[in-house]
Amino acid sequence: MKLFLSMMTCLLLLATSVAHSACTEAAEPLLPDPDVAVMEDILRAQSAVKHYLVRQETFLSCINNNNRHDAAVDKMHDVAAQYNNMARRYKSRMKSMNMVVDLALLI
């Protein structure tokens, strides 16, 4: 019986920690300086921003406060806009060096 209760307690704690992590706002990704970045840096940033947006969508699904929800959505738009500006500057730099870059923008 003690073993059963211990196992149930562990499962409950695990479930609580998973639920809590889903309801934690994601950290904003760091973006590279487009004036010195290489393509790998840009692609890593693109992946980080996509991951951030997915985590934020999970966060949005579990909050009930409209102000927090709106602030999180605004932050998501800001991060996507920062990435897009960085990607445009990088593409412009590559174009000035006669290099063609096919890089998708987000949102």
Q: pLDDT digit string (tens) for 45-101?
A: 999 999 999 999 999 999 989 999 999 999 999 999 999 999 999 999 988 887 766
CB 23 within 8 A of CB 63: yes
CB 97 within 8 A of CB 56: no
Which pLDDT value is given to residue 88?
A: 95
16 occurs within a structural domain: no
2 occurs within a structural domain: no
74 occurs within a structural domain: yes
20 occurs within a structural domain: no
92 occurs within a structural domain: yes
pLDDT one-digit tens code per residue, 5-53: 454 555 554 444 444 456 899 999 999 999 999 999 999 999 999 999 9
82 DSSP 8-state letter: H
Phi, psi angle pair for 106, to nearest 5°? -105, 145
Structural domains of the chain, count: 1
Q: Containing H/E element for 7?
A: helix 2-22
CA dihedral in degrees (47, 49, 50, 54; nearest 10)?
A: 140
4 occurs within a structural domain: no
5 occurs within a structural domain: no
63 occurs within a structural domain: yes
Domain that holds residue 90: 25-107
Which pLDDT value is given to residue 100?
A: 67
